[in-house]
Amino acid sequence: MNDAAKPTGELTLRTLAMPTDANPAGDIFGGWVMSQMDLASGIRAGERAHGRVVTAAVKEMAFQLPVKIGDTLNVYTEITRVGRTSITLQVEAWAHRARHRTLEKVTAGTFIMVALDEDGKPSPVPAE
């Protein structure tokens, strides 16, 4: 990793890319990466909302580099906006290539999570 390329946000989730998450060529499915980003968003937004949250929207995403079996996926999150019931996060996924000891940005996206009450209805995000 060089100084020009550093993750933005808080490291929220780390996990290992396994063979079951890959196609026969050894490339990890994009859906798996998005799923980890969704989990990280849920963790971070849930902590901010002090309760249950749900994914309302994911903005356009593009995959710049592949994730390979054996890479560690690091997901960074930053809360960029808190609305009445919604929390917007900028989420980055970085692959740590163990063999090469490098950290490379794979993709990034904007996730919008909504706080819910016990009935599953949007609920105000409490003040910090």
Ligand X SMILES: CC(C)(COP(=O)(O)OP(=O)(O)OC[C@H]1O[C@@H](n2cnc3c(N)ncnc32)[C@H](O)[C@@H]1OP(=O)(O)O)[C@@H](O)C(=O)NCCC(=O)NCCS
Q: Which residues bind ligand X (CB under 6 A)?
A: 54-57, 83-86, 112, 114, 122
Compute the least distance from the CB of residue 44 to ligand X, in Å: 16
Residue 112: beta bridge partners? 57, 88
CB of 116 to ligand X, least distance (A): 6
Residue 60 tokens, joined: 């356009």
CB of 91 to ligand X, least distance (A): 15
Q: Maximum Cα–Cα distance for the chain, whole Å?
A: 48
CB-wise, 93 or 114, nearer to ligand X? 114
Count how many Cα atoms sit within 13 Å of the Cα of residue 83 in the half-sphere of its side chain: 12
Report how far apart, in Å, the C-alpha atoms of 11 and of each of 6, 17, 40 are: 12, 17, 9
Q: Which is nearer to ligand X, 55 or 72 (CB)?
A: 55
Residue nearest to ligand X (CB): 83
